[in-house]
Structure 1
Amino acid sequence: MSGITYDYMEKYLRELIGDSKGIIKELEEFAEANGVPIVQKEAARLLEFMVTVKKPKKILELGTAIGYSSILMELAAENNVEITTIERDDKMVEYATENIKKAGFEDKITILHGDCLEILETLDDEYDLIFMDAGKGHYSHFLPHCLRMLAKDGMIIADNVLFRGMVACKDLMIRRKITIVKRMKNYMETISQDENLLTTVLPMGDGIALTVRRNENEKTGTAGTSR
C-alpha cells in the first residue's frame, strides 16, 4: 500500500483513467525513467477536473518540476488560462522550459526561477486557482501569501498533504521525515481550523487538500432568507 489507499484501489482507479496521450504521456515516461516526481495519476485527473469546472483565468503553481502539471492544466483549459509557476532547481527549469515550448504554451506559461517563498513575497497578483506542490515542509509559510493573492471565489489545491500516510498515522513514520510531517500537520490544522476557510481532504494519490474561503453566512452560521 501507498499509506493512503490500498493497492487494488489505486490499480482500479488508474485503469479507469486510462493511458495518457501526446506530450502528457511523454512527460510521464520521462519522469518515470529519470526519477522525477510529478503528481500521481489521480491527482492529475483532479487538476484537469477542477480547471474544467472552475475555468480559471489565472493560475499560480508552486513547484514546476518538468512542467507536467502546468502543461496538463493548460491543456484542460484549452489554452485559455495564464499560468505562473515557480521552480528553484536549475535543471528542472531547463526541462520545463523545453517542454512548455514543445507543447506550444510559452506565451501562456511563465516560469519564475528562484526560491518559492522569496518569489511569493514579490508577487501581488490575483489568482483563481493556486496549486501548491513545492517544499512540503513549507506549506504553512506559503499559505499567507497564497491567501493574500487568492481571488474571492478562488481555490487552493495542495498536494502530498498526507505524505505517504505519515501525517495521519505515526506507525508509518520514517524518522528522517519527522520535521516535514510535523510541519505538514501544522498546515493541515491551520486550513482545517480557520473559521474563514473551508477545507476538504481527499485520500487519493498522496493526499490532496482543497481549500476555499467561507462565505459570510457560513461563518456566522446563518442561513439565507427565502422569499
Structure 2
Amino acid sequence: MNAKIVDQHVECYVRSLLPEHTGLLKVLEQFAKLHNVPIIHPEIAQYMSVLLEIAKPTRILEIGTAIGYSASVFASHMKRGHIDTIELNAIMAEKARETFEDLNKSVPEVSLSIHLGDAKDVIKTLEGPYDMIFIDAAKGHYQTFFETAYDLLSKNGIIVSDNVLYKGMVATDDYIVKRKITIVKRMRKYLEFITTHPNLETTVLTMGDGLAISYKKGILNE
C-alpha cells in the first residue's frame, strides 16, 4: 500500500537528492528489503541525521529496535553517548545485537543496550534523563509509550514519533482499511494529545509515513 502522504514524483525526486549510504547502513538496507523488514524511510533517516547534528543528544531512548537500523543511523551521528533501545520480538532483538557489534567497530564512543520485552514494562525499569526519545513501535500504543516515557525526557528534550499519518489513513477516512480502524482512531487521539499538550511544542511533517517532532518545554502536569 502506498503511503499517500507525498506525491510519488516528489518523493522519488527528494530521495534522488539523498546521499547513498555505505558500509553497515547499506547492508542493513539490503537486508531489510530482502526480508521485508520495515525500517525508517530514506528521507526520515536523513532528517534524523540532520536533527542529531543540530540537537547533539548524548542519551537516546528508542522504542522499537527491529534490526537496529535507525539506532545505527543515530549512533553514526553522535560523537559519544548511549542509546537504550527496546524490542518485543526476540528474533529481531538478536539481529539487532549482531548489528550493534558491527556498529561498535566504527563508533566505539557510542554504547548501545538492547532491552527485550514489552516497552510499556521495560520503560519503567530505565533511568533517565534522555535527550531524545524515538517512538517507532506498535502504532496503536503510541500514547501509552509517550506517557510512560515522558518523565524520562530531559527538559528541552525531543520526542520523535514516526509513522503518525499511517498510510494517509489518519488524515482522511477515504484511505482507511477496515481492519486498521482502531489503530487510526488511537493515532488520531495521540496526535491531538501531543499537539495540544501545554508543555510541548509539536509539529507534524508530511514526509515518509508522517513524522511528529515534539519539544519538551516543561514537566507533565506542571
TM-score, normalised with respect to structure 1: 0.91
Aligned to 1:137: 140
Task: Give CA deviations for 1:150-171 in whole Å, capped at 9, x if unaligned.
Answer: 1101000000000010000110
* 1:7 counterpart residue number: 8
| Count of residue pairs the alignment pairs up | 215
Q: Which moved more, 1:69-78 or 1:180-189?
A: 69-78
Over aligned residues, Cα RMSD in angstroms? 1.5
Partner of 1:188: 191
Which segments of structure 1 move beyond 6 Å, counting only runs of 4 or more?
Answer: none
Which residue does the alignment assign to 2:36? 35
Does structure 1 conserve the Cα–Cα contact (< 8 Å) formed by 2:156 and 2:217?
no
Letter in 1 for 2:37: V
Task: Select the residue among 185, 200, 204 that pairs with 1:201.
Answer: 204
Distance in 2 between residues matched to 1:146 and 1:53, nearest whole Å: 23
- 2:81 is matched with 81
Letter in 2 for 1:97: R
Say whether the 8 Å CA contact 2:3–2:166 is kept in structure 1. no
Report SS of the residue matched to 1:12: helix
Q: Which position in structure 2 is the counterpart of 1:103?
A: 103
Structure 1's unaligned 5+ residue stretches are 217-227
d(CA) in 2 for partners of 1:10, 1:152: 34
Q: How far does residue 147 in structure 1 lie from its aligned partner after superposition?
A: 1.6
Note the alpha carbon deviations across 1:105-162, whole angstroms, 9 max, x for none. Answer: 6870100011111111222311000000011110010111222111101000000000
| Aligned twin of 2:180 | 177
The equivalent of 2:17 in structure 1 is 16
* Cα displacement string for residues 54-79 of structure 1 (whole angstroms, at most 9, x for unaligned residues): 1111000000000001111101113x
User: SS at the partner of 2:186?
Assistant: helix
Q: Please name the residue that 2:116 is paired with.
A: 113
Which structure: larger Rg? 1
Alpha-carbon distance in 2 for matches of 1:197, 1:96: 31
Question: 2:155 touches 2:218 (CA, 8 Å); kept in 1?
Answer: no
Distance 2:124 2:154 in 1: 17
Q: Which amino acid aligns with 2:145?
A: F
Structure 2 unpaired stretches of 5+: none
TM-score by length of 2: 0.93
Q: Distance in 1 between matches of 2:52 and 2:173?
A: 34
The match for 2:127 is 124
User: How far, CA to CA, are the matches of 1:158 and 1:93 in structure 2?
Assistant: 21
Where does residue 212 of structure 1 map in the other structure? 215
In the TM superposition, residue 20 of structure 1 has moved relative to its aligned partner by 1.2
User: Does 96-105 or 2-11 show the bigger shift?
Assistant: 96-105
Q: Deviation per CA, 1:158-186, whole angstroms, max 9, x where unpaired?
A: 00000010000110000011111111011
Q: Which residue is equivalent to 1:161?
A: 164
